[in-house]
Structure 1
C-alpha cells in the first residue's frame, strides 16, 4: 500500500511538472477497443480529476475534465513539443492560455456546481457504456450520485425532462468550446407538454 501511495505521489508530481512548464500533452484513452484521445494543455489536477485546455487543429477550443481513472497514459514527446511551439508562435499562450473562472475539481458536486454558476453548457460523455452516451446542455440539478442536464438535440430543441447522468459512468466533461457556446444561442423550448 505504501508503494502504491508513492507511485501516485510521483505520478502527480510528473503531472504538476507538465502544468508548471505549460507542456502540450496527448492523453490516450481507450473504451471498448476504441481510442478516444485528446490533446492540449494540462491546467490543473486534483486527487480525482484532470483539467485540460483542448487543442482543436491549432486552436484552443474549450476545456475538458477527465477522471483520473478514465485514461491510459499521457505523452509529451517531440510531436507535442512542436505543437506547443506552434501555439506559442500563434500567440495562444499569451492570449488564450488558462481558465479565468474558478472551477473546483475536488468532487463531482463541486465541479458541476462551479460549471453551473459560470453558466456553461456542458458536453458529458459516457464512452465506456455498451452504447456510448453523449449529453449536451445546461446543468439543471446536481445530486449526490448524478447530474441532471437539460439535453438539446441536433436541431436545437431542449428536452422537457432532464437527462440524469450517473457520475460513475462519466468519462469526460467538455465545456467552453465553440460548438456549445455558439449553439446555445439558437436553442428553443420543446413544444411537447409534460404528461
Structure 2
C-alpha cells in the first residue's frame, strides 16, 4: 500500500466514527482506531478494543504496513452502545515531534513512549523536549521513580500513548499517595 493511499484512507475516517484496522511493521497484531488527525508523518488516533475506547496514540505513518476501514457489525454495535460518544479529538498538534510533546506536556498526564523495535516501554511525565529527543521522568513497575529522566531519541519512538486505562490508573494513585515527588498527597 502506497503512502498516499494510506493517508487518503486515514483522512476518509476523520470525523466519521469509522473504525480503521491498522497493521504496523513491528507488530504481528492489528489495532482498531478512530482516526482524529493525520499528516505525512504522524497519525493521531483513539484506540478501540472490545467495545471500549482505551486512550490516544500517536504513531508514524512510515511504520504503517496496511490498513482497512472496518464497517461491520462490531462497528455498528459501538454506535448502538454509545462507544462512539467517547470519540473526542484531543488538542494535540502533530506537526512535529516537538509540537507533539509540547502539546502533551500541557495536558499534565502520564504518557507512555514505546520503542517496539528495541522492546522499550517508558511511562511517566515529560521533563524536557529537545531538538531530536525527549526526556521522561520515569517510574518502574513497582511505582518507584528513576533518579534521572530517561532520554529517548525521536527516531526510535514507535508510539506515544496517553489517557489509556494503564497510564490513568497509575496517575490517579500517584496523585493520591504521598511520595517524595508528591509530598502533599
Question: What TM-score does the superposition give when structure 1 sets the normalisation length?
Answer: 0.83
Q: Aligned runs of 1:47-86 on 2, under 5 Å?
A: 47-77=40-70, 80-86=71-77
Which piece of structure 1 moves more, 21-30 or 165-174?
21-30
- Cα drift, residue 58 of structure 1: 1.1
* Cα distance in 1 for residues equivalent to 2:58 and 2:171: 20
- Structure 2: which 5+ runs fail to align? none
Instruction: List gaps (5 residues or longer) in structure 1.
Output: 1-6
Asked if 1:97 corresponds to 2:57, the answer is no
The number of aligned residues is 177
SS at match of 1:157: coil
Residues 126 and 172, structure 1, Cα contact 8 Å, conserved in 2: yes
Q: C-alpha distance in 1, partners of 2:15/2:53?
A: 18
Question: Over the residues paired in the alignment, what is the CA RMSD in angstroms?
Answer: 1.9
Look up the match of 2:79.
88
Q: TM-score, normalised by structure 2?
A: 0.87
How big is each residue's C-alpha offset from its partner over 1:11-51, in whole Å with a ceiling of 9 and x where there is no partner? 433321121432111110132xx414321211110221001
Runs ≥4 residues deviating over 2 A: 7-14, 80-83, 185-191
Using the alignment, how far apart are the partners of 2:4 and 2:15 within structure 1? 16
Aligned position for 1:137:
124
Q: Tell me the SS of whatever aligns to 1:158.
A: coil
